[in-house]
Structure 1
């Protein structure tokens, strides 16, 4: 598809009332979700930067979600993805090591299993660096080649037990939907922020173990 055809297709999509309504609902939800966290920002300069960039990220997230190809049910009113919740995943060291040693690539969106105070949850993150067989994720830091966090991070905003899992559709779906478990009992899902909602639209759903090729 050439650029003119792509532009024409997007224009046609935005003429659809349901699409425009979904975009408006998502934008409203994202603003309502992000503003409370901004109000708690103590650094005035950082607050100013975040406020200035917020419209861009809200528009980008809402557009990518509405025009994207995520094969999950979208609840635009609440700004979340919906799917049936299954059993709590477990870290498989040998399986993870085989994948992250030979197949993973920088830029790949991956599921991270976080266990904190008995509550397990899947998050979306991206591989942004590889060094000496280790992998670094944009949010959750360094992991060894088998997907285990290299150290217990003592920062208050990062949980201490983290595992990098080999991607599959079930895990990516659970991460996109914010699924949580407490000792294998299903809990209400957590709410994803703008960053993870954008990452969900960056997943190559045709093959979640390969990076999405942008058109």
Structure 2
């Protein structure tokens, strides 16, 4: 082992420890605020934390993301746009993009809420090819009326995915304080293929 590689390994180990610590602090705070129906539910959540935190920290350090990694806060950072990046996100354009993609379970997709964009992933395809279901937001079908939902499926592009990864938020068409993405979203952010949004990376 050369002196250079030894230094790099030590730096990577320090960043990994710092990142794990930040993620643990955040998840424990979320557990305190959470509402659980039984002690068993919270026990299962705590039991799974080490696995998901270690996996997420490792994936974030190995990611080829164009975003800046903040190991102290356990988050991605990038310059925020003045308004939510919804240019070119008309219904027809969105579904044209998804129809031209060979969708597979696990594909990372962006979904717009009222004030921010979140990351979700495809977990089931409609047998007739009329839509798909995502893990958190449920079914999306072309004929469904957007006004009946409190969220909107978006087509991925660099600005949209960067905003989702960084937790950028807006209120009254003005920039607001970023929201820290969930542990699940952070893990999904590492599966984004920045060279081809129609395919996800294996993590």
For Structure 1 versus Structure 2, the TM-score category normalised by the shorter chain is 0.7 to 0.9
CA separation of 1:58 and 1:189: change in aligned 2, threshold 3 A? same
TM-score (norm 2): 0.86
Q: CA deviation at 1:135?
A: 1.7
Which of 50, 56, 59 is 1:64 aligned to? 59
The residue that corresponds to 2:157 in the other structure is 168
The residue that corresponds to 2:121 in the other structure is 126
Unaligned runs of 5+ in 2: none
Q: CA deviation at 1:122?
A: 0.5
Instruction: Give the 5 Å matches for 1:134-173.
Output: 134-145=131-142, 151-152=148-149, 161-173=150-162
CA separation of 1:193 and 1:14: change in aligned 2, threshold 3 A? farther
The residue that corresponds to 1:155 in the other structure is none
Q: CA deviation at 1:207?
A: 1.1
Q: 2:24 matched to 1:31?
A: yes
Query: C-alpha offsets along residues 121-177 of structure 1, whole Å, 9 cap, x if unaligned?
Result: 01001011121412211011111227865944xxxxxxxx11111111111111000
The residue that corresponds to 1:210 in the other structure is 199
Instruction: Give the 5 Å matches for 1:181-192.
Output: 181-192=170-181
Contact 2:85–2:159 (8 Å) recurs in 1: no
Indicate the larger mover: 33-42 or 77-86: 33-42
Secondary structure at the aligned position of 2:151 is classed as: strand
Paired with 2:125 and 2:6, the residues of 1 have a C-alpha distance of 39
Q: 2:112 matched to 1:113?
A: yes
Query: C-alpha offsets along residues 30-60 of structure 1, whole Å, 9 cap, x if unaligned?
Result: 1111112323333211111111111111111
Contact 1:97–1:147 (8 Å) recurs in 2: no
Contact 1:73–1:81 (8 Å) recurs in 2: yes
Which of 69, 76, 88 is 1:74 aligned to? 69
Secondary structure at the aligned position of 1:16 is classed as: helix
CA separation of 1:49 and 1:190: change in aligned 2, threshold 3 A? same
The residue that corresponds to 1:156 in the other structure is none
Paired with 1:141 and 1:104, the residues of 2 have a C-alpha distance of 19
Indicate the larger mover: 106-115 or 33-42: 33-42
Contact 1:148–1:162 (8 Å) recurs in 2: no
